[in-house]
Structure 1
Amino acid sequence: MIKPKQLKPGDNIAVLSPSTGLPSVFPQVYHQGLSNLKALGFNVVEYPTATMDIDEVFNSPQARARDLNNAFGDDNIDGIISTIGGSDSARILKYLDAEIIKANPKFIMGFSDFTAVSAFIHQLGIVTFNGPSVMAGFAQIHNMSDEYQTYVRSFIYGEHNESEFPVFTHFSDGYPDWSEPSAAGQLKPQQINTGPRFYQGDSAKKYKASGPLFGGCIEVLEMLKGTQYWPRQDFWRGKVLFLETSQEKPAIDYVRYWLRNYGVMGVFEQLSGLVFGRARDYSDDEKQLLDEVILSVVKEEFGCDKLPIVTNLDFGHTDPQMILPLGISIEIDVQKQKIKALESPFKL
């Protein structure tokens, strides 16, 4: 895998909208995110789609792709961060210039609908990052714990190399109504984090497994299945697949059907591990049922009873969210109930 260069204070970060134009609808949230990025030490470079009208963004997947192509092609840009997710970034993939992107690998991060873009670029052989966006994550970071702020700073500046995945003490299910000006940068009430849940494993391997990360928002990955953008069959061998549900809170039966499809495709039998982010807006009982469904599909339906599974991790549509680098190897230790990165995501 090609790793991007390590970021540093003073670097130029391109901000753009590959998914939706929500900055034009909630500018106060967007500007709070920019302010917090600048406080982290970055110079922010706004590309046209960052503040483009929401309808114009939707109607022009070409403009969204053009911003991405231009950001990769600009030697003055050190990294790229998405403004926010959406629902149709898959529409821009055919307009992305693979040659420009491969020739100019750099840090690029987002989550949710950004999964489609991240998966596309990752399959070019480049490490990409599933993590906070400008409006969902960075806009609220000043109201998160000092521990999380330190984590983000150390990660993006390359100090977070071989290290254990963090488990934060509290989490929030989203944000107050953004139509209220006072909601900019705010979080919903914090809840106690009960921590990740570890299941299964292979005793012959001392309940340890390792492999490179791949994944994202489960609903968005569904849009890529059956297309030229879906990974080849041999791509999955040895991978640790990470999945998370969106703020739409899909019915648990739908998650069952989507997972069953992975099983039918022969994905589970090739994986080294399977991890899930915390499900946003699900009750504790629903989260437990979701775990039961995951185990039922993987273990009972497809016989993968030694595949390590971890749920309720700090990534996805709840805050705070850890940053997951696609293509970087991690190790799952089911007995110790720990996950750690085995390498730096940056070119050293």
Structure 2
Amino acid sequence: MLAHCAGMLDLVALPLWVGTLVSAYRLDPQQAGGLVTLFLAGAVFSSLAVAPRLHRLPGRLVTSLGFGLAALAFAGVSQTTDYAWMAGLHLLAGVTSAAALSCTHGTIARSANPHRLFALVGMALGVFAVVFFAALPPLMARWGGDRLFQVFAGVMAVAGAVAALVFPRTVAASPVPASVAAAPRAGLGRAVWFGALGVSCMALVQAMMFSFLERIGIDRGFGQPAVNAVLVALGLVNLLPAGLAALLQRRWPAERVVLCGPVVQLALVLLMTQSQQFAPYAAAASVFAAVMIFTHTFAFGLLARLDPSGRALAATPAMMMAGAALGPVLGGTLVKWAGYESLAVAALLIAIGAVGCFAQARQAPGLRPDAARSAP
């Protein structure tokens, strides 16, 4: 739970992250988005390097060391305003934290019921989001924007220390046949690649829109207290989707849920970008991240069935952040040259691609039984 919360920090923190870089560090939207993109790009390449080697890496060492180095990187960001230094440290933080997160997700993927366990760590992320949004904006208002990166460093440090003590040295026995588990070098199927690409498309829309959620509210005159209240509400709502996904695991087929996720996500983007009134903006913003969490939980379970080795899901940071890495800088560029409304056009095109990819992410009939349904 702690490792997932630290590794998925960007999913929670993007609005404040980009907003702080714009308001406190006086960067333009494109520059601010570029720093976050460096963090996420580093995470993508790190995850792609770690995932194929999952079976040979000492998970406890990689997880604790990765978060420890990320803590040092964010602590360094809090001490400088030089853009080049901030860029390098963002990149280092992304590389190290994603290595830790890849080992975390690879361990979850090889548990007896990956869908249920991923839902559990998702609920922990929801609790973390509530505390984060309730505590951090007042702290930053009083002490300055550098407190954001000090909090990031603290979160990473705690996760690294706890991982060093209790992270599993070995993963749980795989529920799949030994012949499958013993073939870590087998190629990933077409359905797995399409499923991963679908997750990346949704992550791109999530990061592109989420990065500017706070700025949209401020620039439209809703006021900082009202926008902060929306962020707290968003955190409270995020307590629900992972638990709901766990309850609905056997009632709603994952293949259909992942098809609906991009469509709902697009509808919320349209509300946030096109409405000039506070109520529609607040309603859409408060549930926006929940759609990604709910859909991703089902996608995680689906990909765990399609690839029981766990290698594909060890690359979950790459799936999420390959899309998310482009989101802040793409969103910043669009906002800079065409305004917030242009985000909706980009979201529409990406959502079409996501639905097309998820339509191909299906297990061949009769290949093997549903591992999640047969798990205790």
Tell me the TM-score normalised to structure 1 length.
0.29
Which structure: greater helix fraction? 2
Which structure: greater strand fraction? 1
> Which has the higher relative contact order, 1 or 2, with Cα contacts under 8 A spaced 6 or more apart?
2
Tell me the TM-score normalised to structure 2 length.
0.27
